[in-house]
Amino acid sequence: MLHNFVKTTVAALAMGSASTVLAHSWVDSTKYDPVNQVSLGYPRGYPGRSNPDINTEYTYLFSGSPKSQPMCNPKQQANMNYSPLFPMATVQPGETVYTTWEQNGHLNNANPTKIDILYYPDPNKQFADVSERNTAMVAGTMDFATNATCYSPGNPNSVCFGSWTVPKDLKPGNVYHFVWFWYFNQNPAGEWYSTCFDLDVQESSHVVEVKPMAELLAMADPDLNYALGMTDSIKKELAEVTNLGEGAQPDESSYSSEAPAESSEPPAMSSSDAAEQPISSVPAPLPAPTPAKCRPRPH
Ligand SMILES: *[C@@H]1O[C@H](CO)[C@@H](O)[C@H](O)[C@H]1NC(C)=O
């Protein structure tokens, strides 16, 4: 009885919202440093939060459990488009990566929706179709939005993030392809979202400090400046790299926060690096979803 009631209610909600569903979530930072609150890499074709249309331009929806549909947003599918302001992240095998997105009103502590980080261990293999979500490798699974993953759970625009591990068998010197795939699925017809990104895998990279999520969340609610792009100071920070070494994987118990080993040849800084680009505008938070969109899970 209750089950039937829920099913009917869910179907009614779905019909009411099916044609208006848009604007949910996407990745802002593929490699986030939660201690210093900067982004060290971005997804494909990322427009930045200073673009007022990012919400509509960058959301990529799979509505109604499609059997086939391009895996990536048309702006991301064709090529690996990155700009100096929003570059691809560099990582190394076994590195812990923090990735961020926006809650957009979908906090769910009791039954959190899930994100998979999909990838292929072959740098020549690009994602083509959404059906590959069932056949690709999974580098990590994260909760979309709970009190344990979002900075300000009560704020629908809160930044949320999670961590996952770069597969150890990826070969340095190659760019590998990844998909952030969110099973929103609060619409019973099926509702998923993707953001496609790439990682430049190298022997060494700028490794961010790994700490327990609760400690990182307690630090501060980030101001989203990291979604405005690379500054010269972040580029300098990225030049400091470390090598985790064979089989060495940082974890919450063993990671040392000591300074990474000096690189033997520190990169020369150009004079333009000294002039820090001021952040000209603070991005407006995205509007909270209207009740007609993004229905919360019915009780
Ligand atoms: C989650 O956080 C919110 C806001 O801080 C709080 O009101 C709520 O009680 C928390 N819920 C759980 C399940 O911890």
3-state secondary structure of 57: helix
Residue nearest to atom 4 of ligand 1 (CA): 154
Residue carrying the six token digits 């229905």:
295
Residue nearest to atom 10 of ligand 1 (CA): 147
**What's the rounded mean pLDDT across residues 14-41?**
74
pLDDT at 185: 83
pLDDT at 299: 34
pLDDT at 15 over 70: no
Residue nearest to atom 13 of ligand 1 (CA): 109
Stretch among 123-132, 216-225, 269-278, 286-295 having the lowest mean pLDDT: 269-278
pLDDT at 78: 83
Cα 152 to ligand 1 centroid, rounded to whole Å = 9
Cβ pair 226, 28 in contact under 8 A: yes
pLDDT at 240 over 70: yes
| Distance (Å) of CA 106 to CA 94, 187, 190, 207, 242 | 30, 13, 16, 30, 37
Q: What is the DSSP letter of 128?
A: -
Pocket of ligand 1 (CB under 6 A): 109, 147, 153-154
pLDDT at 284 over 70: no
* Bigger pLDDT: 74 vs 256: 74
* Bigger pLDDT: 187 vs 113: 113
pLDDT at 22 over 70: no
For residues 208 and 238, what is the distance between their CA atoms, to the nearest angstrom? 10
pTM: 0.78
Closest approach atom of ligand 1 to CA 154: 4
Q: Say which amino acid occupies 252.
A: E
Cα 258 to ligand 1 centroid, rounded to whole Å = 34
pLDDT at 211: 97
Residue nearest to atom 12 of ligand 1 (CA): 147
Q: Quickly state the pLDDT bin for 188 (edges 50, 70, 90).
A: confident
pLDDT at 94: 97
Nearest in space to 155 (alpha carbons), one of 108, 113, 104: 104
pLDDT at 215 over 60: yes
**What's the rounded mean pLDDT across residues 111-136?**
97
Average pLDDT of the chain? 80
> Alpha helices of 18-132 — where are they, by DSSP H?
54-58, 74-77
Cα 106 to ligand 1 centroid, rounded to whole Å = 13
**What's the rounded mean pLDDT across residues 61-73?**
95
Closest approach atom of ligand 1 to CA 146: 1
Residue carrying the six token digits 């500054």:
231
pLDDT at 98 over 60: yes
Closest approach atom of ligand 1 to CA 147: 1
- In the chain, beta strands by DSSP E: 27-33, 38-39, 61-63, 89-91, 96-102, 114-119, 137-143, 159-165, 174-183, 191-201
Cα 150 to ligand 1 centroid, rounded to whole Å = 11
pLDDT at 290 over 50: no
Cα 145 to ligand 1 centroid, rounded to whole Å = 12
Residue nearest to atom 14 of ligand 1 (CA): 147
Q: Is the dihedral of CA 119, 123, 129, 132 positive or negative?
A: negative
Residue nearest to atom 7 of ligand 1 (CA): 154
Residue nearest to atom 1 of ligand 1 (CA): 147
Cα 146 to ligand 1 centroid, rounded to whole Å = 9
pLDDT at 245: 81
Pocket-testing residue among 107, 108, 146, 147, ligand 1, by greatest number of atoms within 8 A of Cβ: 147
b/e per residue, 17-45, with b = 16+ CB within 10 A?
beeebebbbbbbbbbbbbeebbbbbbbbb
**What's the rounded mean pLDDT across residues 6-25?**
39
Cα 184 to ligand 1 centroid, rounded to whole Å = 21
**What's the rounded mean pLDDT across residues 26-40?**
96
Cα 101 to ligand 1 centroid, rounded to whole Å = 19
Cα 156 to ligand 1 centroid, rounded to whole Å = 13
- The values of phi and psi at residue 113, to 5°, are -75, 160
Cβ pair 27, 100 in contact under 8 A: yes
pLDDT at 75 over 90: no
pLDDT at 278: 31
pLDDT at 291: 31
**What's the rounded mean pLDDT across residues 179-183?**
96
**What's the rounded mean pLDDT across residues 77-103?**
95
The two three-digit tokens of residue 58, written as one number: 């960058």
Q: Quickly state the pLDDT bin for 175 (edges 50, 70, 90).
A: very high
Residue carrying the six token digits 């959301």:
59
For residues 25 and 73, what is the distance between their CA atoms, to the nearest angstrom? 13
pLDDT at 39: 97
CATH of domain 2-267: 2.60.40.1930
